[in-house]
């Protein structure tokens, strides 16, 4: 993991920044690499720097992401968000289909179980214990 070169505050800052990015394209990866290099240089200069000190020095992760998307190409962001929403819908649809199929299978297994249970009707299962003294 590449967080090992950062201090605890630096790795927390980078992790929070990475979580806040809704899309992860080429430009976002370049942006994250630039931020990571800046954090590495700051952490090497000040090894005991904390998350709060980084927030006051650089800005909060939320502010950096807002600034990035304010300066980003609008068409690119809209296209990436559209693609991610399509992927999200496909995944949700697949999960819903899997749940419906599993429910149907469970219902049919339950019906088979009830049918098998009803077919034993009238029979008594006895256990014979051999009691030899």
Locate the domains of the chain by residue range: 1-72, 73-120
Q: How many helices (H) and strands (E) does the chain have?
A: 5, 0
pLDDT, residue 111, reads 93
Name the band, by pLDDT with cuts 50, 70 and 90, for residue 129.
Answer: confident
Please indicate whether residue 133 or residue 98 has the higher confidence score (pLDDT).
98
**pLDDT at 100 exceeding the cut of 90:** yes
Contacts of 62 (CB under 8 A, 6+ apart): 20
Distance CA 41, CA 115 (A): 71
Model pTM? 0.64
Q: Which residues 6+ apart lie within 8 Å of 38 measured at CB? A: 58
CA atoms within a 13 Å half-sphere pointing along the CA-CB vector of 41:
6
How does pLDDT run across 11-67, given as a tens digit for each residue?
Answer: 899 999 999 888 888 888 999 999 999 999 988 888 888 889 889 988 899 999 999
């Amino acid at each position: 993991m590449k967080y090992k070169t950062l201090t605890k505050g630096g790795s927390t800052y980078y992790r929070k920044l990475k979580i806040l990015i809704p899309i992860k394209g080429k430009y976002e990866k370049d942006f994250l690499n630039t931020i990571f290099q800046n954090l590495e240089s700051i952490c090497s200069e000040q090894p005991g720097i904390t998350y709060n000190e980084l927030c006051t020095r650089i800005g909060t992760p939320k502010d950096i992401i807002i600034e990035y998307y304010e300066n980003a190409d609008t068409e690119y962001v809209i296209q990436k968000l559209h693609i991610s929403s399509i992927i999200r819908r496909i995944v949700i649809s697949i999960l819903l289909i899997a749940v419906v199929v599993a429910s149907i299978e469970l219902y049919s297994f339950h019906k088979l179980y009830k049918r098998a249970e009803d077919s034993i009707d009238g029979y008594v299962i006895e256990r014979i214990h051999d009691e030899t003294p």
